[in-house]
């Protein structure tokens, strides 16, 4: 990629979040991530080019020096900061503007600094051969996978119903979504195949911002916030069917929609439960006790688990994410007084902000502060700083995304000994299962700002009080939680899917 010969026509709109906009190259497997500003700052950028460069470099350093050591290098792509020609950035901004969702246009792309983060395009993996069937990529934002057990938790409901399930009621009550998702992160993080299948099924039924499917780099299935567009399951089945042509759940080579979805979910569960290499691969059960691994709001019936263990293998992506999330040992309620301690200290001694690395740099010294935190509060600023850093890292892990790339293997490839080292997934339900080469990556690993902690506390209080006020009931006028894209008979079926192998 020659930076001095950049052409906006080689790039297309890929997507955006709250703080950045992403474009992808039409030929090579690369994306550029550019910062966004509030629209009212469009004529007067809120930071200099040097500050923008430092902000993006901080993202790279946080990913490569902090999150990589916690989550495992094999899952992380940190990317690099690039300086782009300003004219290219301006033309690119004009080109993508009409493709952006209207509700995202309260912010504009940074066209002043020329700084961007260059990353591999994980929706179009490099191991894909262009002549073969395009790869499938599934993006999952799993959210927080445990219930807090901190003595600082003031409302008992937080130890019984997970944050995601409570937040769903709050979002529907505030009109952000018309119906709630029945996905529960504790089911996905359980390590039990039945519960994981159940969780992914609900992600497909109501994807919201937590589930997307890409085919050959193009998004073929997702929810659009604020949109009335209904999900087109038939279109999804049309895309998926060619990937699952073999097996015994078929009638005259015609595959039922139920069989396609079951195969697809099964392959995805296999990928999430496979070790990405490294680690001891041992099964780590939930040491917090059975009660803490179930959310009372989940519709999964505990009695349905007939076999299979609870707990994740320790070299899996979900295990590493969960362990990092659990650096939040105090809950936001226990963390906030420590934040106030640090904040007061910084008001008295402003120059100490650099010494305590509140805004980075995210290097070995930062990791040392994180890891050498004493168990008990000794009243020091150092203890408070370390706990705040741990909480911020945990919040990043609670908000990250997992990208699972599935590349179909052809019959010739399966016979090719040269590919025997590639990891393969097989669907054990079918007599002739589809085989995939796969890769698992973690993305969205930005550091969370120190100053966002008071806002986190206020949001937590609003979510909990909304849930307690409604008793977990949905407001009148909201849609039923199930869009009905699966029939009741099919939904019952997922208890019968798993047989000992």
Q: Which distant-in-sequence residues (6+ apart) come within 8 Å of 20 by Cβ?
A: 33, 34, 35, 36, 117
pLDDT of 129 above 70 = no
Position with higher pLDDT, 289 vs 392: 392
Position with higher pLDDT, 45 vs 388: 388
Which range has the top average pLDDT, 14-28, 216-230, 245-259?
Answer: 14-28
Range 102-117 average pLDDT: 91
Q: Which two tokens stand for residue 382?
A: 């150092």
Looking at residue 375, what is its pLDDT?
Answer: 86
Longest dimension (CA), the chain: 77
Where are the domains positioned within the chain? 8-120, 136-411+431-470
pLDDT of 100 above 60 = yes
pLDDT of 481 above 80 = no
CB 315 within 8 A of CB 279: yes
Looking at residue 309, what is its pLDDT?
Answer: 59
Q: Which CATH superfamily is domain 8-120 in?
A: Inositol-pentakisphosphate 2-kinase, N-lobe (3.30.200.110)
**Nearest Cα to 22, choosing from 124, 144, 142, 140?**
124
Q: How confident is the model at residue 229 (pLDDT cuts 50, 70, 90)?
A: low
Q: Which distant-in-sequence residues (6+ apart) come within 8 Å of 22 by Cβ?
A: 14, 15, 16, 31, 32, 33, 34
Q: How confident is the model at residue 257 (pLDDT cuts 50, 70, 90)?
A: confident
Q: In this predicted model, what pLDDT tens digit does every residue of 74-89 receive, in sequence order?
A: 999 999 999 999 999 9
pLDDT of 222 above 50 = yes
Position with higher pLDDT, 226 vs 233: 233
Position with higher pLDDT, 188 vs 436: 188
**202 by DSSP, 3-state: which?**
helix
CB 367 within 8 A of CB 69: yes
Q: How confident is the model at residue 407 (pLDDT cuts 50, 70, 90)?
A: confident
Question: Which region holds residue 331: left if phi is over 0, alpha if psi is between -120 and 50, else beta?
Answer: left
**Cα 326 from chain centroid (whole Å):** 16
Looking at residue 186, what is its pLDDT?
Answer: 96
Instruction: Return d(Cα 397, Cα 378) in angstroms, integer.
Output: 27
**117 by DSSP, 3-state: which?**
strand
Query: How many Cβ atoms are within 10 Å of 350's Cβ, its own excluded?
Result: 9
Percent of the chain with pLDDT over 90: 58
Q: Which residue has the tokens 């990556």?
A: 441
Looking at residue 163, what is its pLDDT?
Answer: 97
Range 367-377 average pLDDT: 90
Looking at residue 396, what is its pLDDT?
Answer: 97
**Full DSSP string of 348-404:** H-TTHHHHTTBTB--SHHHHHHHHT--SS--S-HHHHHHHHHHHHHHHHHHT-EEEE
Report the chain's mean pLDDT, rounded to a whole number.
83
Q: Which distant-in-sequence residues (6+ apart) come within 8 Å of 232 by Cβ?
A: none
Instruction: Return d(Cα 32, Cα 24) in angstroms, integer.
Output: 6
């Amino acid at each position: 990629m020659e930076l001095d010969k950049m052409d906006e026509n080689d790039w297309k709109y890929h997507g955006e979040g709250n703080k950045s906009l992403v474009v992808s190259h039409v030929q090579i497997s690369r994306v550029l991530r550019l910062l966004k500003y509030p629209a009212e700052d469009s004529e007067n950028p809120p930071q200099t080019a040097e500050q923008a460069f430092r902000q993006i470099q901080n993202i790279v350093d946080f990913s490569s020096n902090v999150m990589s050591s916690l989550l495992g290098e094999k899952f992380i792509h940190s990317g690099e900061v690039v300086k782009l020609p300003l004219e290219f950035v301006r033309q690119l901004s004009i080109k993508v503007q009409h493709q952006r969702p209207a509700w995202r246009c309260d912010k504009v792309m940074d066209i002043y600094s020329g700084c961007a983060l260059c990353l591999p395009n994980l929706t179009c993996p490099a191991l894909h051969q262009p002549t073969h069937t395009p790869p499938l990529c599934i993006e999952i934002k799993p959210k927080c996978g445990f219930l807090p057990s901190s003595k600082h938790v003031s409302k008992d409901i937080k130890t019984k119903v997970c944050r995601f399930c409570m937040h769903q009621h709050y979002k529907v009550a505030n009109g952000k979504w018309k119906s709630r998702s029945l996905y529960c992160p504790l089911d996905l993080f359980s390590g039990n195949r039945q519960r994981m299948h159940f969780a992914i099924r609900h992600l497909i039924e109501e994807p919201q911002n937590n589930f997307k499917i890409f085919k050959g780099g193009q998004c073929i299935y997702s929810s659009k916030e604020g949109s009335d567009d209904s999900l087109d399951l038939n279109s999804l089945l049309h895309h998926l069917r060619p990937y699952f042509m073999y097996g015994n759940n078929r009638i005259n080579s015609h595959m039922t929609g139920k069989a396609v979805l079951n195969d697809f979910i099964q392959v995805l569960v296999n990928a999430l439960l496979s070790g990405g290499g490294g680690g001891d691969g041992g099964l780590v059960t939930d040491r917090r006790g059975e009660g803490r691994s179930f959310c009372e709001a989940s519709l999964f019936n505990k009695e349905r688990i007939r076999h299979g263990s609870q707990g994740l293998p320790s070299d899996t992506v979900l295990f590493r994410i969960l362990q990092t999330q659990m650096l939040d040992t105090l809950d936001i309620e226990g963390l906030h007084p420590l934040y106030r301690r640090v904040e007061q200290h910084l008001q008295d001694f402003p120059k100490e902000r650099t010494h305590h690395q509140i805004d980075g740099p995210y290097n070995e010294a930062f990791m040392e502060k994180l890891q050498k935190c004493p168990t008990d509060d000794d009243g020091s600023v150092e203890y408070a700083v370390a706990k705040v850093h741990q909480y911020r890292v945990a919040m990043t892990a609670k908000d990250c995304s997992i990208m699972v790339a599935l590349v179909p293997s052809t019959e010739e490839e399966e016979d090719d000994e040269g590919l025997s080292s590639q990891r393969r997934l097989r669907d054990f339900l079918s007599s002739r299962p589809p085989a995939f080469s796969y890769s698992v990556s973690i993305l969205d690993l930005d550091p969370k700002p120190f100053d966002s902690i008071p806002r986190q506390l206020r949001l937590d209080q609003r979510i909990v009080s909304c849930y307690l006020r409604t008793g977990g009931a949905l407001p009148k006028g909201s849609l039923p939680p199930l869009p009905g894209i699966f029939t009741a008979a099919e939904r019952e079926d997922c208890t019968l899917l798993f047989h000992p192998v």
